[in-house]
Amino acid sequence: MAIDYQSLAVKGVQALSPYQPGKPISELARELGLDSSEIVKLASNENPLGPSKKAIAAAESALTDLCLYPDGNGFDLKQKLSTRLGVGADQITLGNGSNDVLEVIARCFAGADSEIVFSQYAFAVYPLVTQAIGAKAVAVPARAWGHDLDAMAAAVTEHTRLVFVANPNNPTGTVNSSSAIEAFLGKIPEDVLVVLDEAYCEYMVGEEDPDGVSLLTRFPNLIVCRTFSKAWGLAALRVGYSVSSPAIADILNRVRQPFNVSSVALAAATAVLDDEDYLQRSREANTSGLKQLELAFDQMGLRYIPSSGNFVAVEVGPQAMDVYQALLAHGVIVRPVAGYGMPNHLRVSVGLPEQNEQFIDALSKALAAAGQGA
């Protein structure tokens, strides 16, 4: 009898449904017979400015050493981060994107008999890594689309090993204030690790916006994750990191792949940290782009979730998949979020002014075609 090899996979893995990435531009161009330049992708929260020139130059210089393994300890990048963040280099763990770090954390600190707590509508990677290691997912109902931190603290049991908090969260864009995060951390037992995922922290502009790194000295069970994929504009290169106590970092560094960040990625990330001007322009473009989108939604009578990230979830109604398809036909790629339990919303990333305009224009046409709105 033929063996069903899928049945040999561990149980959590058998039931996994893979992460759904945004549709690539090249794929839609093929499908529509269009040129890639006519297509706008606002589906993966990428930086619309294009990469920093300093990052490109550093990546190019690194090409001469392609035959060599990268520095497995990422010395230069850790030094730069350490100075910038005011932490020890021994508190930093580098990852192949911060998703890599999130997964390593789960593998190091949770197992088949553990519970992992996260919020409803939270970033899809949390349930994914939880299931992959066979742990029990405890998804806590959201409050006004955001993390209900009181309910999350109350959901912690003696089996809980990890709590994931995305701040701001993707795909909702909701943020919990600095005082709320502190109060939450005060309620979590010291032997339960809290992962504060700050992938969008560079975009936050409010005074009450949290900075997880500043809380590390008071809460040794905290792990803060950040990335170069969003405001720093290096999504293709896959670089992220966590900041934690040295003891936790030591564990994570034992388990991560020894060369998990390429030398090209290390060089570009190290260089981009010197490009403060790029970061500033990324922030400003995002703030004005978000306003442009929100204003258009207001004018179209569409509800949206106010966002602290570089994207916004807009409510287009139960025919959201039709609207998504109609947008594709107009050459605009956004992200359906039905998989997050948000079947009436679409998530759109903030683009350049003309890209946002193309999206808004296509959206009003798509809604009209779907018999709704303007």
Ligand X SMILES: *Cc1c(COP(=O)(O)O)cnc(C)c1O
**Where does this chain bind ligand X (CB under 6 A)?**
45, 97-99, 123, 166, 170, 197, 199, 227, 229-230, 235, 240
Is the Cβ of residue 260 or residue 319 nearer to ligand X in the bound state? 260
Q: Name the closest residue to ligand X (Cβ).
A: 97
Smallest gap from residue 224 Cβ to ligand X (A): 12
Smallest gap from residue 197 Cβ to ligand X (A): 5
Smallest gap from residue 231 Cβ to ligand X (A): 11
Chain mean position to CA 233: 13
Smallest gap from residue 166 Cβ to ligand X (A): 4
Smallest gap from residue 31 Cβ to ligand X (A): 25
Smallest gap from residue 319 Cβ to ligand X (A): 26
Is the Cβ of residue 312 or residue 326 nearer to ligand X in the bound state? 312
Is the Cβ of residue 166 or residue 305 nearer to ligand X in the bound state? 166
Is the Cβ of residue 193 or residue 326 nearer to ligand X in the bound state? 193
Is the Cβ of residue 45 or residue 307 nearer to ligand X in the bound state? 45
Is the Cβ of residue 342 or residue 367 nearer to ligand X in the bound state? 342
Is the Cβ of residue 307 or residue 319 nearer to ligand X in the bound state? 307
Smallest gap from residue 241 Cβ to ligand X (A): 9
